[in-house]
Amino acid sequence: MRIHGIVSGKVQGVGFRYSTKLQADKYNLTGWVKNRDDGTVELEVEGDQMKIDLLLNDIKKGFHPFMQVNNIKTTILNHTGYKDFQILN
């Protein structure tokens, strides 16, 4: 399974991408995460659906008090076979 997501809220400048990568690695998920010019964060995550759901729940809760997630808009996509999880610039 692969999802594409846009995360809005206070998600830039607070370690969101790094925290997302750590959790994705913990769940053995692949894909990428990057900041967007509009202040949101974009991601694609690939792997087991239950583990993707765990990651999305972690994101919704926020990884620490300095982070605030207002919304996650997701779309299900076809599996592509990412090799690892990367932070993109």
The catalytic position among 35, 70, 71, 89 is 35
Provide the 10 A C-beta neighbour count for residue 78: 7
The catalytic position among 2, 17, 36, 89 is 17
- The values of phi and psi at residue 64, to 5°, are -160, 170
> Is residue 70 among the annotated active site residues?
no
- The values of phi and psi at residue 2, to 5°, are -135, 135
The helix/strand/coil state of 56 is helix
> Is residue 2 among the annotated active site residues?
no
Tokens linked to 30: 């692949």
Query: Which residues are known catalytic residues?
Result: 17, 35
